[in-house]
Amino acid sequence: MTTTNSHIILKTENLSIGYASKKTTSVIANNINIELKQGELIGLVGANGIGKSTFLRTLTSIQNPLNGTIYLNDKPLDNHSSIELAKTMSLVLTEQLMSKNLSVFELVALGRQPYTNWVGNLSTEDLSVINKSIEQTNLSEFKHRKCFELSDGQLQKVMIARALSQDTDLIILDEPTTHLDMYHKAYILKLLQKLAKDTNKTILFSSHEIDLAIQLCDTMIVMTSNNVVYDSPCNLIEKGLFETLFPKDLINFDKNTGSFRIK
């Protein structure tokens, strides 16, 4: 923690991911070596079905790796207790909320669960963290609204506020921009960039908004069928990696604008 900005929150060593059953093993990606540093915004991109979700599921310990080790704050992921993990890593998932009858405040307050007592009472510290998270995501005016009254974009902000209130070093978001219009896609990703800077948290998200990610991220993880590459957006463009993302019959990557064009 002493060397801010260069402190490594999450590191993988020769990680291979995939699904193993008794008879067969299907490897999705091999030899993944990444280092996520404190205060960085990291975008994970790749074509549909390339294994982004599997990778995130492995990082969040929902799924076991086939090989290799994941270090969270220099300690192997397996050695974290579930409460330790909950205090180090928070998630924003694609799944629908089960109950939208909670108010924004109540939902964000659930992020404090790892810190509260057996009945879930909020201390003054909890309250200040919750209120700060609501302010940081510009939700103050919606604080006492019910979640079913919110638009998709607002709801996504609430889920981000909930992850913030969990007060973790690392926030992982699985496709936070799906179902959103172009403005809100940019809004959410810009918000993530600001949060990473302001709170010095590491934020990793998967997305299909490659051009936005190129503009906003400090680092990007590009998954192709051959390998997983981890570098700054500029270097990735130089290396010509984005050209290899998709089949070449329909779209082309334009190096000058950093975006895809129809042929």
Binding site for other proteins (CB under 8 A): 60, 62, 81-87, 89-91, 93, 95-99, 101-102, 106-107, 110-111, 113-114, 116, 118-120, 166
Of 116 and 224, the one with the shorter C-beta distance to other proteins is 116
Count CA atoms closer than 13 A to 21's CA, side-chain side.
3
The pair of structure tokens assigned to 21 is 């059953």
The rounded distance, in Å, linking the Cα atoms of 234 and 258 is 9
Of 160 and 220, the one with the shorter C-beta distance to other proteins is 160
The rounded distance, in Å, linking the Cα atoms of 223 and 47 is 8
Of 3 and 117, the one with the shorter C-beta distance to other proteins is 117
CB of 126 to other proteins, least distance (A): 13
**Amino acid, single-letter form, for residue 64:** N
Of 102 and 186, the one with the shorter C-beta distance to other proteins is 102
- Number of residues in the chain: 263
The rounded distance, in Å, linking the Cα atoms of 203 and 246 is 25
The pair of structure tokens assigned to 54 is 């599997």
Instruction: Report the chain's terminal Cα–Cα distance, integer Å.
Output: 48
The pair of structure tokens assigned to 205 is 């998200």
CB of 215 to other proteins, least distance (A): 29
CB of 88 to other proteins, least distance (A): 10
The rounded distance, in Å, linking the Cα atoms of 215 and 131 is 30
Of 85 and 186, the one with the shorter C-beta distance to other proteins is 85
CB of 176 to other proteins, least distance (A): 14
CB of 102 to other proteins, least distance (A): 6
